[in-house]
């Protein structure tokens, strides 16, 4: 008997129905409430004091801390270390309550204008139950970082009501490209068009930093996302924002293709993918299985299987994630995706 696949619009309708049912069963009601009006933290200027926290992993070498201090100073800012910045508890930068207390201290300090995560690793989600979101909400300040800091970005988007910046951690290498992108958002309050640069290659056709259109089109929505693994680990918790009509951005590192497949499957079954207006998949660094298997899928094939049927604009390869040169993305701010040209336009300033 011949079988035919459903048209794209029918498949998307089915995905939305399944997503809505899954969301109602899986998500706490607080995560599904209408989002508050987005407030804007103050923009940064030279001479501002910024707080340094380690909500996840620790830095093993004092010299690395010195490099962080020097990098922040080179930005024209004054670094202020959180009280437990030098602590260690196993692979974490101190006990959970102490790391949460450091974040509280930086948000309560009127002299601190923004808060940098020194590094990622693992552990940000562990402090979420200890966070005082009333305190954080009352003191809107930019939170800057990426990777494991995704847990804080998403929780802030759900509970704090102001923009944060998915960008380099304070301990990142801070190339000129990354610095220029961050400075435009956080200091100038710019609304840039984010497009991968042309690679300087001695080739007839550019190979590095290429984007691939998975499904062409344009869409506007609230920019939400971050590290795929961290986002997936927050499913079923009250720390996810409402993804209805969002532009979902994702990146990851050291994950084999089948694990990306598994996480995207979970996002679909939980009702996330069926609700977004567009998807930008950034860099997936070292995302390749270490052992080959017959009939294995490539990353691009996995992405197409999950994202093309959504019926929304999708592209792959944007310059954010675990790479030296990366965009800074304002979480919670409206953006427009153009998956045909592989660009993301920020529509509103992230700062006042």
Query: 26 pLDDT exceeds 80?
Result: no
Q: How sure is the predictor about 37, in pLDDT bands with cuts at 50, 70 and 90?
A: low
Report how far residue 113's alpha carbon sits from residue 46's, in angstroms, rounded to the nearest whole number: 11
**Mean per-residue pLDDT, 189-212:** 90
pLDDT tens digits, 43-77: 999 999 999 999 999 998 889 999 999 999 999 99
pLDDT tens digits, 228-257: 999 999 999 999 999 999 999 999 999 999
pLDDT tens digits, 216-227: 999 999 999 999
Q: Would residue 306 show up in a list of annotated catalytic residues for this protein?
A: no
Q: Which of 124, 322, 328, 339 is flagged as catalytic?
A: 322
Pairing of strands 164-166, 112-117: unpaired
Q: Would residue 147 show up in a list of annotated catalytic residues for this protein?
A: yes
pTM: 0.89
Query: What strands, in cross-sheet order, belong to the sheet with 334-338?
Result: 193-195, 343-346, 334-338, 218-227, 247-253, 278-285, 314-316, 212-215
Query: 286 pLDDT exceeds 90?
Result: yes
Q: Which of 251, 255, 257, 336 is flagged as catalytic?
A: 251
Report how far residue 273's alpha carbon sits from residue 240's, in angstroms, rounded to the nearest whole number: 14
Q: Would residue 13 show up in a list of annotated catalytic residues for this protein?
A: no
Helix then strand then coil, % of the chain, to nearest 5: 35, 20, 45
Q: What is the pLDDT of residue 201?
A: 80
Domains of the chain, with CATH numbers? Answer: 8-28+192-346 (3.50.30.60), 49-186 (3.40.50.10740)
Q: What is the pLDDT of residue 252?
A: 98
Element (H, E) at 249: strand 247-253
């Amino acid at each position: 008997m011949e079988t035919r696949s459903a048209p794209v619009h029918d498949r998307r309708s089915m995905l939305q129905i399944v997503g809505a049912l899954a969301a109602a069963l899986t998500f706490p009601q607080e995560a599904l409430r209408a989002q508050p009006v987005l407030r804007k933290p103050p923009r940064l200027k030279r001479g501002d004091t910024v707080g340094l926290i380690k909500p996840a992993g620790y830095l093993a070498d004092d010299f690395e801390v010195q490099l962080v201090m020097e990098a922040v100073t080179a930005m024209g800012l004054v670094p202020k270390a959180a009280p437990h910045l030098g602590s260690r508890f196993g692979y974490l930068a101190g006990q959970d309550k102490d790391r949460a207390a450091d974040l509280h201290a930086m948000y309560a300090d009127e002299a601190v204008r923004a808060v940098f995560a020194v590094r990622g690793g693992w552990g940000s989600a562990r402090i979420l139950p200890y966070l005082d979101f009333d305190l954080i909400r009352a003191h809107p300040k930019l939170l800057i970082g990426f990777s494991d800091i995704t847990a804080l970005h998403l929780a802030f988007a759900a509970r704090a009501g102001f923009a944060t910046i998915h960008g380099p951690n304070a301990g990142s290498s801070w190339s000129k490209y990354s610095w220029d992108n961050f400075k435009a958002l956080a200091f100038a309050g710019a609304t840039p068009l984010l497009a991968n640069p042309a690679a300087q290659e001695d080739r007839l056709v550019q190979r590095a930093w290429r984007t691939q259109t998975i499904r062409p089109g344009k869409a506007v929505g609230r920019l939400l996302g971050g590290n795929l693994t961290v986002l997936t680990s927050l499913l079923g918790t009250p720390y996810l924002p409402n993804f209805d009509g969002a532009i979902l951005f994702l990146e990851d590192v050291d994950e084999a293709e089948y694990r990306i497949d598994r996480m995207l499957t979970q996002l679909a079954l939980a009702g996330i993918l069926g609700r977004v207006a567009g998807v930008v998949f950034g860099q997936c660094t070292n995302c390749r299985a270490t052992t080959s298997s017959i009939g294995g899928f490539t990353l691009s094939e996995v992405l197409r299987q999950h994202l093309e049927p959504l019926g929304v604009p999708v592209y792959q390869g944007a310059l954010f994630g675990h790479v030296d040169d990366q965009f800074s993305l304002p979480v919670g701010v409206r953006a427009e995706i153009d998956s045909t040209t592989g660009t993301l336009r920020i529509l509103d300033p992230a700062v006042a």
